[in-house]
Structure 1
Amino acid sequence: MSSHAKISGMAKHAQVSRALLDDIARGKYALGSLLPSEPALATSFGVSRQTIRAALRTLRELGLIEGQQGIGSFVRAAQPTARYAYSFDSAVDLLQYAVSTSVDVLSCEEIVLSEAQALSLKRRPGERWWQVQTVRKPLQDHAPIASSRILVPYAYGSVLQDLSRSREPIFALIQQQMGETITEIWQDISATSVSAADAALLGVPPGCPGLSIERRYFGRNGELFEVSHSIHPADTFNYSMRVRLALPERDAPAPHTAAAPTPPTPHV
């Protein structure tokens, strides 16, 4: 797998990470050397220090650099370790992740929601849905990075015909072919132990540490049109997410209240 394939996403910090990765790979920054300071890198790339910190964090997670408090970041390796780094800032980055990987569709079957599934999804028991089992791999590597079970309402089943011929994710196919628009994505991330079934698909030992990511995609009217549950091997996948925080508004001055006019004194 190419070095760039290990850093996905079009966010600024991902672009800076890839540029620094290139600099290290071609020897601009030798092993053991100190990278420029955060302010210097921010000036060089024309970005904020927060962006530089996010980029350096990605390089640390790939094993390329090591930070020392009060000194800076040292180069410790010329090539990334075998870890797939994935940056997520928006639905656009979800698309980037999908097109930078290949998908093997292992099964596609009709299911009927059980009471437990319906309660979890806030749907009616007995509804028909499609359940799809997939495995994703980087384009230039054969080591799986995700085993996924995806649920799609029965009415959207026609989009699944194109899944094996397209690297686009199911939610993108639903948008293109069904006229839906994503308005909200719920995401739940947790540590897990990889089950025997997923371990066989991912080529890892059963019970080893893994990362569980569940996403729910909602349309314009709050309609749930996809649920994906993915398991990633902990030692081959890194997930990075950037959260933009809105600054609190300053306390606005209390509105001025004019005194009520004094009613005229009646003449007797």
Structure 2
Amino acid sequence: MAKREEDTLKYERVLNALKSRIQDGTYAAGTLLPSQHQLVTEFDVSRPTVIEALRLLRQEGLIETQTGRGSFVRGKVPAITEQRSYPGQRLLDESESDSSAELLQAGIVVAPLKVATLLEIPPGTKAFLRQYVISDQGGPIELVSAWFPLDLVAGTKLSSPEPLDEGIRRHLYGRKRLRLDHAVERTLSRAATPDEATVLGIEAGAPVLNLVVTGHDSAGHARQLVDAVLPGDRHELRDVYPLS
């Protein structure tokens, strides 16, 4: 029993020290934590002790561990429930090739006011738009407009006429080393515009669901936006959550 209490004190000491450094800004959002080996040496503890401390930090949402790279300090994100589902995450993680997307356009345009506001760029600023439609056997089911600040486009495949073979989040990290730390998701019901109705094969003014997801970096800045329009009669919103 005494040894178990001693082990507990050891990992709590490591846990509290790392948590304090995160909270006081010593390890700022996006910072790579020292390696397990470095932490073992610094705190004079065993590797399992360090692993347990890091596990608890992940559980509290303070860090994110990437295989082969290490543990990073996360930005401040709203508390979430593990059982909830997030439709917008699919838009960030699903590849165009997996969803059988048909590319409609990929180029530089003046960002609409809503897009400029959510991307935190000045009104009238140009941005990069990658727009595609997803269909099933019954016809078009989703019109997706992915918006990016111009500084993110160079060195990526965003302007390619071919479907992307990986999700937006993975692509931006692989090509630009940009880690999207968290997302803000908005869902509203509205009438389809004439252009949206034409692409989706519905009547102008028909009800649609509009799912808007902004991806933010660890400092909280919006770096990417996906605006998806879904025919209201072909989709439903479903969630699961505890009542206790």
Determine helix, strand or coil for the equivalent of 2:157: helix
Sort the Cα spacing of 1:221 and 1:97 in 2 relative to 1 into closer, same or farther, 3 A: same
Q: Take 1:135 and 1:197, find their aligned partners in 2: how far apart are those partners?
A: 13
Q: Take 1:97 and 1:244, find their aligned partners in 2: how far apart are those partners?
A: 31
Given that 1:192 and 1:211 are in contact with CA atoms closer than 8 Å, whether structure 2 keeps it comes out as yes
CA-to-partner distance for each residue in 1:4-58, whole Å, 9 max, x for gaps?
Answer: xxxxxxxxxxxxxxxxxxxxxxxxxxxxxxxxxxxxxxxxxxxxxxxxxxxxxxx
Q: TM-score, normalised by structure 1?
A: 0.50
Given that 1:104 and 1:164 are in contact with CA atoms closer than 8 Å, whether structure 2 keeps it comes out as no
Trace 1:161-176 onto structure 2 (pairs within 5 A): 161-162=159-160, 164-176=162-174
CA RMSD of aligned residues (A): 3.1
Bigger drift between 199-208 and 165-174 goes to 165-174
Find out whether 1:191 has 2:189 as its counterpart: yes
Partner of 2:203: 205
Q: Take 1:181 and 1:118, find their aligned partners in 2: how far apart are those partners?
A: 21
Structure 1 counterpart of 2:219, which letter? N
**% identical aligned pairs:** 17
Deviation at 1:96, TM superposition (A): 4.9
Q: TM-score, normalised by structure 2?
A: 0.54
Given that 2:188 and 2:211 are in contact with CA atoms closer than 8 Å, whether structure 1 keeps it comes out as yes
Partner of 2:214: 216
**Structure 2 counterpart of 1:111, from 86, 109, 113:** 109
Q: Take 2:113 and 2:232, find their aligned partners in 1: how far apart are those partners?
A: 32
Determine helix, strand or coil for the equivalent of 2:237: strand
Given that 1:89 and 1:242 are in contact with CA atoms closer than 8 Å, whether structure 2 keeps it comes out as no
Could you list the runs of 5+ residues in structure 2 that have no partner in the other structure?
1-84
Sort the Cα spacing of 1:232 and 1:98 in 2 relative to 1 into closer, same or farther, 3 A: same
Q: Take 2:121 and 2:189, find their aligned partners in 1: how far apart are those partners?
A: 27
Partner of 1:84: none
Sort the Cα spacing of 1:229 and 1:175 in 2 relative to 1 into closer, same or farther, 3 A: same
Deviation at 1:180, TM superposition (A): 1.4
Partner of 1:149: 145
Sort the Cα spacing of 1:200 and 1:127 in 2 relative to 1 into closer, same or farther, 3 A: closer
Given that 2:107 and 2:159 are in contact with CA atoms closer than 8 Å, whether structure 1 keeps it comes out as no
Could you list the runs of 5+ residues in structure 1 that have no partner in the other structure?
1-86, 248-268
The number of residue pairs the alignment matches comes to 158
Deviation at 1:114, TM superposition (A): 6.5
